[in-house]
Amino acid sequence: MNREDWTMKAKLLKTSAALAVVAAMGGVSAAQAEDLTLCWAAWDPANALIELSKEYEAQSGNTMHFEFVPWTSFADRMLNELNSGGKLCDLMIGDSQWIGGAAENGQYIKLNDFFDANGISMDAFIPATVVGYSEWPKNTPNYWSLPAFGDVVGWTYRKDWFAEPQNQADFKAKYGRDLAVPKTFAELKDIAEFFQGREEDGKKVYGAYIYTERGSEGITMGAMDVLYSFGFKYDNPDKPYDMEGFVNSDKAVAGLEFYKSLYDCCSPPGMSNAYMGEGVDAFKSGQVAMQMNFAFTWPGFNTDPNVGGDKTGYFPNPAGPDGDQFAQLGGQGISVVAASDKQDAALTYIKWFAQPEVQAKWWKLGGYSALKAVVEDPGFATSQPYAQTFLDSMAIVKDFWAEPSYATLMQSSQKWFHDYVVAGNGTAKEALDGLAADWHATFEEEGKY
């Protein structure tokens, strides 16, 4: 199915979706209309959700309001809202790592009975998103959200620079292979070093942008994205919360050393505290040959007047030294907030959002659907230049701790990673030893041992 066919199919699905939802929600529109507030981060997909939700408003009679908070303060603001029992949010698209705390503290309502009553099956969604966004405890059929936005860390690259004949010739002369999408992190670093300080489009450029942000979660998302493929594990697979020799294994140490080496050799200047937005700016302004970032950024690159179209390519996280290949999961599920006085109306939004026809439009508008019916459609992989990379990346995801103590665990990793990678304090082994000790102390306070 080509892109034109996909577009036509989406239009047909939109028409059938409207008819189906009117029928399914007839009782809702007849009831008293409600004002619902959905809370999420302030980013491009949120704007797409506003557009998508206009159909829900027309079909349900309810009015949607939106509270969007910048990523740098999103966790602080929304976790405070949940912890205080605030009534601002009826629906929340919360980060994947919050699910444990929200479930155990009674901040989200459990959705199992609602799903069963409305024929919503978690088997219909990408398995990694169900585990990552919906389940607590993990790998049990206890659901606290509907997968809402599939996301993962991947890479963009300047496809036009890679294809330039002189670059191809110079690279092959130096490395003995073609300048192409890297299959391993070793190859990625070779490419980053090759472009570092090179002149492209009349100006000096840099090899690779990576996450370094200290305040929220940035450097953890970036470092973990590399450490997984080097062999890092959160704990002993046979003994939960037993971290010694796993968090700080020799392979994990090598991964953190690699991440620092990539920062030292090949990142642009002034990127010592940088996350998603700085990466977008660096790539769109033509500063870097490759850029680490979440997949949500890809639609914006594809249509950008400076780097859009054939100038930009996409590739999943490369493999580590032993062939392991993983990527940091991003994305979120949508939940009904337990403190809301409008839970029944909020559930109608989830019922509407779960429909295959609505999910197909969500993808078309720039949202990343996690519904199998959308991503496994024969036309999906070619519907956008980045669609296949999204599929490949979502197949290899891992995620950070989703424990109730998530925020404390994240603060520790942010500190140890930034102090070593950016500030240059100590060694990678010392950083990971310190991290393992901090995490052990946190879990000890929770009675995990």
Helix runs in 354-427, H state only: 356-365, 372-375, 387-394, 406-421
Q: For residue 333, list its beta bridge partners.
A: 94, 147
- Same domain? 51 vs 192: no
- Same domain? 175 vs 205: yes
What proportions of the chain, in percent to the nearest 5, are helix, strand and coil? 50, 15, 35
Structural domain for 74, as ranges: 3-152+331-398
Nearest to 282 by CA among 224, 374, 332, 212: 212
pLDDT of residue 32: 82
- The three-state secondary structure class of 165 is helix
User: Chunked in runs of 10, what are the mean pLDDT values of the chain (449 residues)?
Assistant: 44 41 43 92 96 98 97 93 97 96 98 98 97 97 98 98 98 98 98 98 98 96 98 97 98 98 98 97 98 97 97 98 98 98 98 98 96 97 97 97 96 98 98 98 97
The answer to the question of residue 296 being in a domain is yes
pLDDT of residue 252: 98
Element of type H or E holding 28: helix 26-30
The answer to the question of residue 48 being in a domain is yes
Q: What are phi and psi of 217, to 5 degrees?
A: -145, 0
Out of 267, 293, 328, a domain closes at 328
**CA distance linking residue 426 with residue 37, whole number of Å:** 47
- Same domain? 341 vs 283: no
Angle between helices 343-353 and 44-60 (to 10 degrees): 110
The answer to the question of residue 403 being in a domain is no
- Same domain? 269 vs 349: no
Nearest to 335 by CA among 96, 47, 122: 96
- Same domain? 230 vs 316: yes
Out of 285, 313, 328, a domain closes at 328
- The three-state secondary structure class of 146 is strand
CATH code: domain of residue 10 = 3.40.190.10
- Same domain? 139 vs 185: no
437-443-445 Cα angle (round to 5): 105
- Same domain? 209 vs 290: yes
pLDDT of residue 7: 43
Out of 277, 309, 328, a domain closes at 328
**Beta pairing, strands 327-336 & 397-398:** parallel
Nearest to 41 by CA among 83, 74, 66: 74
**CA distance linking residue 37 with residue 247, whole number of Å:** 40
Q: DSSP secondary-structure letter at 23? A: H
Nearest to 255 by CA among 279, 224, 277: 224
How distant is the alpha carbon of residue 341 from its chain centre? 30
- Same domain? 115 vs 207: no
Element of type H or E holding 19: helix 3-24
Q: How far apart are the first and last CA of the chain?
A: 54
47-49-54 Cα angle (round to 5): 110
How many other C-beta atoms are found inside a 10 Å radius of the C-beta of residue 4? 9
- Same domain? 14 vs 96: yes
The answer to the question of residue 138 being in a domain is yes
Nearest to 348 by CA among 16, 15, 52, 36: 36
- Same domain? 285 vs 179: yes
The answer to the question of residue 382 being in a domain is yes
The answer to the question of residue 316 being in a domain is yes
Helix runs in 106-237, H state only: 112-117, 127-129, 159-163, 165-175, 185-195, 218-230
- Find out whether 150 and 332 touch, Cβ atoms under 8 Å: no
Nearest to 249 by CA among 265, 266, 238, 235: 235
The token duo for 50 is 């506003």
**CA distance linking residue 440 with residue 170, whole number of Å:** 49
- Same domain? 280 vs 371: no
The answer to the question of residue 431 being in a domain is no
Q: For residue 68, list its beta bridge partners.
A: 40
- The three-state secondary structure class of 444 is helix
Give residue 54's identity as a one-letter amino acid code: K
pLDDT of residue 381: 97
- Same domain? 109 vs 199: no
Give residue 13's identity as a one-letter amino acid code: L
If you search the block for the tokens 């700085």, which residue do you land on? 278
The answer to the question of residue 409 being in a domain is no
How many other C-beta atoms are found inside a 10 Å radius of the C-beta of residue 2? 10
pLDDT of residue 11: 42
Q: How many domains does the chain have?
A: 2
pTM of the predicted structure, to 2 decimals? 0.91
3-state SS record for 281-341: HHHHCCCEEEEEEEHHHHHHHHCCCCCCHHHEEEECCCECCCCCCCEEEEEEEEEEECCCC
How distant is the alpha carbon of residue 79 from its chain centre? 18
